[in-house]
Structure 1
């Protein structure tokens, strides 16, 4: 890993908690932040409760930081006013603070929901236009575009991870195509912090699932090679849902339930 001092946002969340325990042993200094409280700090970890929507707070969070792993924000759909305040204003504040502080790279947890209105029969790569399926998806599309602007205009690198469904194990038929194991999620973050030059790279976050509607050829330089597979859970998932309704949006669009 080429960065010694890392800021992790959203550190109290499901994925943030996984990342905290994997990042701390691999960096000299980890600053973990969330609006919620955290416990069990590692010896080299500083924990800070903060609201990213406050630019002054964001400036303090990025002080003396080399790179940011940004998993903060609301992780589900909500009224636009809430999404705007937390996932858009907070995102913009973080990037502006990072630019001022001279941060070199950001790893951003984007989402399938930035492209959720593509049909599950379509195979898409990172060059397709965004088609957000929700207010949450709009915020993720905004984040990807802001990341592109800050790379083009200020030289701040970003890897935008279009995460599918990162959960302990897949539980639906759609997850057979979108599941991202915690180990593979960590590999994506690690590769994003290790490759010498990324510019602004968009990569689809999915494990080595046999069925997929995503093509990661435009992110091949990351060297991401997922190890886990939703295929191991196929029998269990088919038994729980033996006769899916193919006309249901959940089974028809890549964004699933968020597109309803």
Structure 2
């Protein structure tokens, strides 16, 4: 039986990294983005949709026949409120409503560490700050991720959809500064986390930190391990390559001092 997984924001940074890593025998990746993803390579089980997550008709059509949705679409940095509201908050509502109407059983939401950016390093208990720590957003972008989590909780409780919200640290090929040594999630670990989200028994609503097994991490891995996520990578192998500027004290880093609504 073929499994169809819809990925929104598939032409963004994380989406491009996941395209080959989530490819599986018997799985079709339905890639949706406002900027058209590359056409399938020969033999690649991929469907391409050029559309916005705010387009209700397009999202309903995209969700038809999908077993799961990985929602990566939206604005990924701080921006003026109107854009954040439309793309990140209303866009998430549109995605969840389309998934509900199409009978999609499972949705993974790309939340962010910026939903809890004003936690200080000293506030992390032994074992790391829990993934479901009360929101302390650092920007309008962070607020949009809190709203995303709330919408996920609503659609689980009201409609029984299995929803996992991932408070992602930073997913790039390798860390680039001192803060990212503890926020980093390798692309391979990101794929492992998404596979765990797709495979864990449900239904449920969960919040999970999206990080690797970093030596310097101060976010908890317990919630991810509970659903079968066992990260294998550690940013420490890159520590000698990154600038050793003064350590950040707040989880959100520079987001905590950026004027609200300012492009980054």
TM-score by shorter chain over 0.5:
yes
Of 251, 256, 259, which aligns to 1:254? 251
Q: Give the Cα–Cα distance (whole angstroms) in 1 for the partners of residues 21 and 238 of structure 2.
A: 25
8 Å contact from structure 2 (residues 39, 48) kept in 1: no
Residues 205 and 26 (structure 1), Cα distance of their counterparts in 2 relative to 1, 3 Å cut? farther
Task: Give the TM-score taking structure 1 as reference length.
Answer: 0.92
Matched, 1:175 2:180: yes
- The change in CA–CA distance for 1:3 and 1:147 in structure 2 (over 3 A counts) is farther
Per the alignment, residue 210 of structure 2 pairs with 205
Change (3 A) 1:4 1:224: same
* Counterpart mapping for 1:99-248 below 5 A: 99-123=100-124, 124-197=129-202, 199-237=204-242, 240-241=243-244, 244=246
The Cα of 1:236 is off from its aligned counterpart by 2.3
Unaligned runs of 5+ in 2: 258-264
Alignment partners' CA distance in 1, 2:6 and 2:147: 21
Any idea what the Cα deviations from partners look like across 1:162-209, whole Å, max 9, x if unmatched?
A: 110111111111112111110111100011111122501111011111
Partner of 2:40: 41
Q: What do the CA deviations read for 1:207-228 (whole angstroms, capped 9, x no partner)?
A: 1111222113234321211111
What is the number of equivalent residue pairs in this alignment? 251
**Partner residue in 2 for 1:57:** 58
3-state SS, counterpart of residue 165 of structure 2: strand
What CA RMSD, in Å, does the superposition of the two structures yield over aligned residues?
Answer: 1.6
1:201/1:26 Cα in 2 relative to 1: closer, same or farther (>3 Å)?
A: farther
Note if contact 1:3-1:66 (Cα within 8 Å) is conserved in structure 2: no
Q: CA deviation at 1:58?
A: 1.0
CA distance in 1, matches of 2:171, 2:39: 23
TM-score (norm. length: structure 2): 0.90
Q: Is the 8 A contact 2:193 2:224 kept in 1?
A: no
